[in-house]
Amino acid sequence: MTRIAAALDALLLEKLPPIDHVDLVLVRLPFVSPFAISTAVWTTKDALLLRLESGGVAAWGECVADPDPFYASETTTTARHILKDFLLPRLEPGITLSELERRMRHVRGNEMACATLENAVLDLIAKAKGVPLHALLGAARKKVPSGISIGLQESPAALVAAVGDAVAKKYHRVKMKIQKGKDLDYVRAVRERFPELPLMVDANGDYRLDDAEHLAGLDAFDLTMIEQPLSYHDIYQHALLQMTLKTSLCLDESIHSLDDAAAAIALGSCRILNLKQGRVGGILESMRILELAAAHGIPVWSGGMDETGIGRAVNIHLQTLDGFTLPGDTSETSRYFHEDLVEPGVVLDADGFIDVPEGPGFGARVVEERLARLKISEEKIL
């Protein structure tokens, strides 16, 4: 049995502690600079947070949904509705995580809402035991390599400058957002300036299968992968596209579950997986996907949703698991925020690695004064 399978079996037997208070909090953190993808431009991070309190200990789950449906169909508002009306009523002290998962499966889709509850419950269980989240997951890695995702830029020169800043920071690989009309020239400029840098692109579904010949132009730039070139819910056409390209494809938006990952692997829709725990219903499902991918020799990396320090920490703990064989999208806090909700924030060391937090649970402290300032609404559920 693999280390992940053993850890998962043990986790599923963990029991829910009694919960005294439940709150849903919406926060808004201004971005240092706008972040643009092919379907959206964000100037703030709006995040829905779930706070569970048990015996004076507060645990948190950050929902990765945006306030709009431009990356995924879930939004902060739909997640709040699903959590409040369907998921939180299914919480019951003493039930196992396995039973909680079974109850959550009655809710179709809404993986981001489900992950929010699961993350908060795991944080609570880890804190009740006084151990960091990665210990609960059975992982021993002490630091993880950091990669960065650079949003769409005004010109190839601006992109080259942004990549230069990332290289100076020692990020282990650089991902560049592309869209129709902002692709070959942009990537060529970066590749000419940085011949050896591990580079990849992410289209967030901006192309159609008809664009296969155009996309084949990217084969010249020695990219590690092209992430989600086709529609946000397609698996089949990516398989057809992959057959025509030298460069590996990677799926992001299309993968919501272990079953989706199995379909993509079986069809040859991608050779690499972007695993966002918040997009697949949480950490437990992520562990299953890691196992499946490893069994098929598919490299996996941890994606990001420009999370606040809460979700960012979860992604770091997750990446201590075997099976994350490529650097992820977890970059340092200061690249998105002047001020985060938590202390300490995420920083890169001189070699572009992030230390795994060793405090209980997700391992950072929510600064109450900042939370009060950045909060735009709060709903007391219990």
The residues assigned a catalytic role are 177, 276
Paired tokens of 20: 């005294």
Q: Which is nearer to Mg ion, 127 or 172 (CB)?
A: 172
Report what 305 binds from Mg ion, ligand OSB, none; CB cut-off 5-8 Å by kind. ligand OSB
- Per CB under 5 A, contacts with Mg ion among 235-264 are 252
Q: Which is nearer to Mg ion, 304 or 360 (CB)?
A: 304
Report what 306 binds from ligand OSB, Mg ion, none; CB cut-off 5-8 Å by kind. ligand OSB
- Per CB under 5 A, contacts with Mg ion among 196-225 are 202
- Please say whether the beta carbons of 200 and 229 come within 8 A: no
Q: One-letter amino acid identity for 352?
A: G
Enclosing H/E stretch for 159: helix 156-168
Q: How far is the CB of 241 from Mg ion (least distance, A)?
A: 16
Q: How far is the CB of 25 from ligand OSB (least distance, A)?
A: 20
In three state form, how does the secondary structure of 233-267 look? CCCHHHHHHHHHCCCCEEECCCCCCHHHHHHHHHH
Q: One-letter amino acid identity for 309?
A: G
Report what 362 binds from ligand OSB, Mg ion, none; CB cut-off 5-8 Å by kind. none
Enclosing H/E stretch for 119: helix 111-129
Q: How far is the CB of 306 from ligand OSB (least distance, A)?
A: 4
d(CA 86, CA 168): 47
Q: Which is nearer to ligand OSB, 304 or 345 (CB)?
A: 304
Report what 149 binds from ligand OSB, Mg ion, none; CB cut-off 5-8 Å by kind. ligand OSB
Q: Which is nearer to Mg ion, 252 or 306 (CB)?
A: 252
Secondary structure of residue 293 in the 3-state scheme: helix
Report what 260 binds from ligand OSB, Mg ion, none; CB cut-off 5-8 Å by kind. none
Q: Which of 218, 275, 228 is nearest to 249 (CA)?
A: 228
Q: Taking CA 195 as the corner, what is the angle to CA 193 and CA 197, rounded to the nearest 5 degrees?
A: 100
Could you report how far apart the first and last alpha carbons of the chain are, in Å?
41
Q: How far is the CB of 113 from ligand OSB (least distance, A)?
A: 17
Secondary structure of residue 117 in the 3-state scheme: helix
Q: How far is the CB of 329 from Mg ion (least distance, A)?
A: 8
Q: Which is nearer to ligand OSB, 17 or 281 (CB)?
A: 281
Backbone φ and ψ for 79, nearest 5 degrees, come out as -65, -40
Q: In 10 A of CB 240, how many CB atoms? A: 15
Report what 206 binds from Mg ion, ligand OSB, none; CB cut-off 5-8 Å by kind. none
- Per CB under 5 A, contacts with Mg ion among 339-368 are none
Enclosing H/E stretch for 176: strand 174-177
Report what 71 binds from ligand OSB, Mg ion, none; CB cut-off 5-8 Å by kind. ligand OSB
d(CA 162, CA 176): 10
Q: How far is the CB of 148 from ligand OSB (least distance, A)?
A: 7
Residues 6 or more apart in contact with residue 369 via CB below 8 angstroms = none
d(CA 351, CA 227): 25
Applying CB under 6 A, the residues found at the interface with ligand OSB are: 37, 71, 149, 202, 204, 252, 303-306, 329, 331
d(CA 89, CA 219): 50
Q: Which is nearer to ligand OSB, 111 or 252 (CB)?
A: 252
Q: Which is nearer to ligand OSB, 320 or 330 (CB)?
A: 330
d(CA 186, CA 189): 5
| Nearest residue to ligand OSB, by Cβ distance, number only | 304
Which residues in this chain contact Mg ion in the complex, by CB under 5 A?
202, 227, 252
